[in-house]
Amino acid sequence: MSLLKLLNFHHILMLSVFTGAANGYYCYQSSQCIYSSPDLSDMVYIEGFYFNKYLFVKFNSTVGKFVGFTEFGVRNAEIWNNDTNYLQMTRAQVDIFCRHNAELMEVAIYNKTVQPKVKLSSVMPGDSKHPALVMCSAYDFYPQPIKVSWLKDGAVVTSDVTSTEELPNGDWYYQIHSELEYTPKSGEKISCVVEHASFTKPMIYDWNPPAPEFEWNIQLLFTIESVALLLGIIIAAAGFIYYKIKSTEKILVPH
């Protein structure tokens, strides 16, 4: 699906004829260029004339002439449609104004792409009882459409995948996160694939799970703790014995 694009221009022709403090009249002309196809073939030029908020004459390039909506509007439409030069000039706006400006905008904005920064991280390391959870994040890319998928030994994985939408950062860039739940097997290769307009081909990022040192650390912690506890008991016991001997000496050998 293609996004409908709109270039909107307002020309204020005449600002108010004041009749007292609060009353005024506001007349303006609006020019719009509406299109969705990247080659600009479906471009439509709309010119609207408004008195206060009311549209009284409109030119639509698909229709090819002015159409009036009030008595004043109908009269103006007749006069302008009668003026061959003016009509031709207005009809030409779809090319000289809309397509010209849209081309500049396409090159300057819409056709710009920024490559995502891709990061793989472990959410849950997984063990004999629980599956592992790995996350593939793509940051700061433009434009919005992107595809993030997973490969297990080169084959596409579709189950046990959860993805967010493309989340707008609020600064024209987007981010997306995809999680894969899997049971770690030795020698198995997990990869994240990112497809985006900024890449000429799908980019593959291999997952290197962190070394399983988690349980070993817990064990080590317990060992250190036990040794410390034992040492504490020994020191406390030695102190107590020393104190006992000292106090016994005091009683037995008075000065």
Ligand X SMILES: *[C@@H]1O[C@H](CO)[C@@H](O)[C@H](O)[C@H]1NC(C)=O
Is residue 227 part of the contact set for ligand X (CB under 6 A)? no
Which of 8, 12, 15, 38 lies at the binding interface for ligand X (CB under 6 A)?
38
Which of 31, 33, 35, 46 lies at the binding interface for ligand X (CB under 6 A)?
46
Which of 14, 15, 17, 63 lies at the binding interface for ligand X (CB under 6 A)?
63
For ligand X, give the closer residue by CB, 65 or 130.
65
- Minimum CB separation of residue 81 from ligand X in Å reads 8
For ligand X, give the closer residue by CB, 122 or 198.
198
Which of 15, 107, 224, 227 lies at the binding interface for ligand X (CB under 6 A)?
107
Which of 7, 28, 76, 106 lies at the binding interface for ligand X (CB under 6 A)?
106
Is residue 6 part of the contact set for ligand X (CB under 6 A)? no
Which of 44, 133, 135, 157 lies at the binding interface for ligand X (CB under 6 A)?
44
- Minimum CB separation of residue 106 from ligand X in Å reads 4
Which of 8, 16, 70, 111 lies at the binding interface for ligand X (CB under 6 A)?
111
Can you give the chain as a three-state secondary structure string? CCCCEEEEEEEEEEECCCCCCCCCCEEEEEEEEEECCCCCCCCEEEEEEEECCEEEEEEECCCCEEEECCHHHHHHHHHHHHCHHHHHHHHHHHHHHHHHHHHHHHHHHHCCCECCEEEEEEEECCCCCCCEEEEEEEEEEECCCEEEEEEECCEEECCCEEECCCEECCCCCEEEEEEEEECCCCCCCEEEEEEECCCCCCEEEECCCCCCCHHHHHHHHHHHHHHHHHHHHHHHHHHHHHHHHHHHHHHHCCC
Is residue 92 part of the contact set for ligand X (CB under 6 A)? no
Chain contacts with ligand X (rule: CB under 6 A): 38-39, 44, 46, 60, 62-63, 78-79, 82, 103, 106-107, 111
